[in-house]
Each structure stands twice: as C-alpha cells, then as structure tokens.
Amino acid sequence: MKNIFLTVIAALFCVSALCDECLSEPFSFLSESDMEQAVTLKATDPIYYSGDLASGEPEYVSIKVQDVDNPVYEEVLMYLEAPFADGVFYWDYYAPEFINLPAGHTYLLTETIKTNEGTEEYSHTIKILPEPVAFLILGIAGFFFLRKRAKALAAFVIAAAVFATASARADGCVQSVTAGQFFPFDRMVIINYVLDSDVNDEFTVDFFCTTDEGATFYKLSEYGTLSGEGESGTVQGNGAHKIYWTPGSDFDTISSGSMRIKVTGEVVPPPPKTFMTIDLTDGSVSYSPEPPESWTEEYKTTKLALKRIEAGTFLMGSPADFSKRGDTDLYQHEVTLTKPYYIGVFEVTQAQYELITGNNPSHVLAPTRPVESADFTTLRGSDGFFQKLNAKTGLTFDLPTEAQWEMACRAGTTTSLNNGTDIQSDDWDPNLAHLGRYSGNLEDNIPSLEYNDYHTLVGSYLPNAWGLYDMHGNVEEWCLDWIDNSHLHNTDPTVDEVGNLTGNYATVRGGGWGRNGHACCSASRNIQTKTQSSTSNMKDKIGFRVFMQLD
C-alpha cells in the first residue's frame, strides 16, 4: 500500500508541470537496421496511415497486403474515401481472410494515397510472427512481470488513472499529444498535438522524445528533420496540429515499444496595444505596439491616434513653495489611477472634427490646426462630436478628468514642465519654448511653423516622454471637472466627487497661445463656462483631446 500511495502522490505532483507540455503514450519505434530487414508483424499490430503525406486534396487511402511468395494472393486491408482522419489501422491476421496466411512467407504491405494531383504509394516487406511463438513470448514476459510485482502493477494502474484524470483538467496550452511511427512503411514519426489558449493563438513549440520514461530526452530537431506545423518553432492557431519527424541515421539505438514524444509549448504574449488608431472614414480601430515611423498628415486628418497610459500613482499639483504657482493650482499630493486609459497623441484637429461632425466652428482655419470654438456642451451633446465618434466606432470616448489629463501630461515628471525642467519666466522661457505655443513665443521666427499670432499646427513642438504633443500650449483643453481647490482625492478622483458635471463651468488645462508661461505648466488650471458665446474672448483659445477609459 505504501508503494501505491507514493506513486499516486507522485502522479499528482507531475500534474503541475502540464501547463505547457504533454507526453504521448508509448509506441513502437523501429531502428534503421530493423527497417533494412523485413518487419515482423504480430496480431493486431498498429499500422499508421496519413493522407497528409501526399499533396493535393485526398480522395481515398488504402492499405493492401500481397504474398511475395505467392503472387496470386492480394487482399485490401483498409479502404477509406475522403473525408477521412489520419490514424491507425489495427490489422488482425486471425480474421477469416487471413487465417490461412503462411507464417513463414514474406508479404508486401502497401499504402496508396490518391489525391486530385496524383497517386503516391508507400510499401515495405513484412513477415508474420508464428502464432505459437507469439503466445510463448507473451506468456514468458507476463510471468516475469507479474511475479512479485502485483503491488507495483496495481500502483501503476491507479497512478495512471489519476494522472489521466488530472491531465484532462490541466489548464495548459498543450492539451494532448499522440504519436506513432509511420509503421511499418517508414521510420518517420507522425506527431499530432492540440494547442489551446484564450490569451493568444500564437505559440512557440518544441519536440522531444524519450525512451526511458523521461529520464533522458532527445530534442527531435537535433536527431533528424522536422516538417509540418511547428518546424520553425512557432505555430499559429488554436486546435489540432501535425508535424513529422524523420530520424537521422545516427538515431539508431531505440528498441521497439519504448518511445514517447513530448511537446512543449508556450503562448506568445500578444503585442501590447500601446497605440490605438481610429480610421475616421469608416470607424475601424487598429492597435500597434510602436508608433509609426513618422506622424504623417493622415494622423492629423483622416486618422486619430491615441496612446495607452497605464494605471499608476503620480504627484498631482504644484509644491506650495513653487515661485510660479498659480492661484488655482492644487497643492501637490499623491493620486492613484487604478485603470489604464487611452488619450489623444494630438489635440483634435479641424480636419478630424469636420470629418466626424460635418462642420468646423474654428475661428482660425487650417486643417491640421487644433479645432477651437467647440464648447463643452456642444462636444458632449446628444448630436455632438463624442456621440458621433462613439456611434461610428462602437467604443466610448469622452473628455478626460483633470487627474487623467495631468498624469498624461507629466509623463512621470514632478516638475512644472513635462521635460523635467521648471519654468523660469512668464514671458520667453527657453524650456517652454520647445514644448508648445504660448504668448512668449508667438513672434518666434521658425519657418517650418505657420505662426501668425494664434495657435499653430498640432505636433509642431517636442512631445513629452510618453509621445504626447502640445500638452503645454497651443490651445487649452477641456476636462470633465469643475475647478475646486479641495480636489485632493487620492484614488480615482472623479467628476462626481470633484464637482457638478451638470453645472455651467468646467476646467481647462495646458494653457495655450493666449496664455503666459506659468499658465501652461502641468499643474496649471483655469475655469470656463461650458457654453461659449460667439463673442467670448476664449472661443478661439480652447480645444480638446480625445480620451477613452479602459476596464
């Protein structure tokens, strides 16, 4: 009983390793020297067949036996018409049609595969082991195995049952492996395996064999050649796969009945969806782990690019002793956002806005300048930009909260500017001048920019460390929040906690072309009426950036 218990426990522990590997059942394997001679078949020996060994669409596969010593005799053992599954044919020469086969004769066994592209045949000579000899060998082997080994046999049976049950429950990407030599036609081994994952359908795989119950493993690619699904080391697609291994001539020491095949696999993690791109012409959405080589005009006209921002903790607001601290700045405090989100790489341009809504409310017109004069109420209204964008894409976009906007702006910095520096001057500041359009650099003579005392083309300045442009300057950007100096909530501050979403005012962030230096800092805040009148002095100074919350 002790042996039984220990064997069962060992089997259970083995289950923990099943998450990315699986072993086949033992099968017969012939050495090269065996194949050079006539193969000896016993009653009910397995004979493997595979339609995959011929090119084209299979029509039928058959196996026949011919008596070489008596050419008149020929018998079709198996005939399958397509569609058929590759598998194993168990022949039995005790059957009536084979009962008179002389045991000493030599026979030719032939597999024929017919496809729409032609016919292929595989054949090998065989001999039949005389029946009395077969029973004698089995009897002797059984006697020595069972003698004084009854407990060990019971332990093996129980452990195998436990192991098989647990294997069925294993939650791994390699679900099952079956293998067998292309017996008796060739030494090639046919390996069928099943991969499954709900994370991704791309896998890395490798193949091994063992002849000593796992004490030693041989990597198949180093002892022959692999062909089929997985020969390159990667496989696409959940479900059943097949690969063939042809052993090399140096792999010639294996005895029949002792081989097992192991398939190992790992799920290839899907590429991170770091950047989201919306095609505004049809609403389709795509993802990529890296930005394009360059942000061409299409990303500012017919496409909309967003960057994924991971959940995390940052310092929001400005230090109490900061000399350029604004009256409405929050005091620096730690804020944690527990959910990732996407936010626009650029401010929404006039071309993008017009493509979604059919109009352009901007005062200073240019397709790739930020849209302005679109007030908070219009943007979020029942027939506004976000409602139409959401309907077109099937996703839910909105404006960010202040915390979400500032975390994206800072990109890991705690200084007043997102390039790791602090602003020095409200007029012309050398640090801010490289980051965005504001009142201090309106007259800068930079030919590549269309400066004319207003905002300019999006993406004209340096991005922050997370690849976001114009977080400082150009136009101020709407946020969902109501301005409130008691906004010191530490985890996922929301508009419901911060202020009244249905009120008449909302916060704008980032400063703009009409603001001085300190108004463009990461922590700087301003308040505006949600509905801008046509005569408002702010109507051409406020734009927005697209945001999407992730679960």
Residue of 58 and 37 predicted with greater confidence = 58
CATH architecture classification, 271-551 = Alpha-Beta Complex (3.90)
Residue of 87 and 193 predicted with greater confidence = 193
Mean pLDDT of 423-427: 91
Mean pLDDT of 197-216: 91
Residue type, 356: I
**pLDDT per position as a tens digit, 207-251:** 999 988 888 899 999 999 999 999 999 999 999 999 999 998 777
Sign of CA dihedral 470, 475, 480, 486: positive
Calpha distance 401→379 (Å, rounded): 15
With residues binned 3-state (H G I as helix, E B as strand, rest as coil), the percentages for the chain, rounded to 5, are 20, 30, 50
Q: Among residues of the chain, what percentage have pLDDT more than 90? A: 52
Q: Which of 170, 195, 341, 178 is nearest to 268 (CA)?
A: 195
Q: Is the pLDDT of residue 201 over 80?
A: yes
Helical packing angle, 150-169 and 2-15, nearest 10°: 20
**pLDDT per position as a tens digit, 307-320:** 999 999 999 999 99
3-state secondary structure of 413: coil
Q: Among residues of the chain, what percentage have pLDDT more than 70? A: 81
Calpha distance 312→399 (Å, rounded): 19
List the 224-228 sheet strands across, edge first: 174-181, 189-195, 239-247, 224-228
Calpha distance 473→458 (Å, rounded): 10
- Strand-strand pairing, 476-478 and 542-543: parallel
DSSP code string of 327-345: TTPPBPEEEEE-S-EEEES
pLDDT for residue 415 = 96
Q: Is the pLDDT of residue 470 over 60?
A: yes
pLDDT for residue 533 = 65
Residue 547 CB-density burial (10 A; 0-12 exposed, 13-18 middle, 19+ buried):
buried
**pLDDT per position as a tens digit, 145-195:** 334 333 433 333 333 333 333 333 334 799 999 998 888 888 899 999 999
Q: Is the pLDDT of residue 468 over 60?
A: yes
Residue 115 CB-density burial (10 A; 0-12 exposed, 13-18 middle, 19+ buried):
middle
Sign of CA dihedral 518, 523, 526, 531: positive
Q: Which of 154, 192, 164, 199 is nearest to 48 (CA)?
A: 192
pLDDT for residue 164 = 35
For residue 275, what are the CA distances in angstroms to 247, 278, 363, 403, 458?
Answer: 46, 10, 31, 21, 18
pLDDT for residue 131 = 54
For 442-451, letters b (16+ CB in 10 Å) and e give: eeeeeeeeeb
Q: Which of 400, 419, 269, 310 is nearest to 347 (CA)?
A: 400
pLDDT confidence bin for 23, thresholds 50/70/90:
very high
Calpha distance 423→288 (Å, rounded): 34
Query: Are the CB atoms for 383 and 510 separated by under 8 Å?
Result: no
Residue of 387 and 132 predicted with greater confidence = 387
Tokens encoding 33:
């020297």
pLDDT for residue 510 = 97
Q: Is the pLDDT of residue 75 over 80?
A: yes
Residue of 392 and 18 predicted with greater confidence = 392
C-beta neighbour count of 482 within 10 angstroms: 20
For 167-176, letters b (16+ CB in 10 Å) and e give: beebebbbbb
Mean pLDDT, the chain, whole residue set: 83
Q: Which of 284, 445, 304 is nearest to 368 (CA)?
A: 304
Query: For residue 260, what is the enclosing H or E element?
Result: strand 260-267
C-beta neighbour count of 505 within 10 angstroms: 14
Residue type, 510: G
Most confident of 93-107, 251-265, 289-303, 326-340: 289-303
DSSP code string of 173-217: SEEEEEEEE-TTT-S-EEEEEEE--SS-SEEEEEEEEESSTTSS-
Q: What residues contact 140, with CB distance under 8 A and at least 6 apart?
A: none
Tokens encoding 16:
């923990």
Calpha distance 182→104 (Å, rounded): 24
Sign of CA dihedral 378, 379, 384, 385: positive
User: In degrees rounded to 5, what are phi and psi of residue 44?
Assistant: 60, 30
What's the predicted TM-score (pTM) here?
0.66
Q: Which of 297, 295, 304, 308 is nearest to 277 (CA)?
A: 304
Tokens encoding 453:
């005392």
Residue of 168 and 281 predicted with greater confidence = 281
Taking the chain, what is the end-to-end CA distance rounded to the nearest angstrom? 53
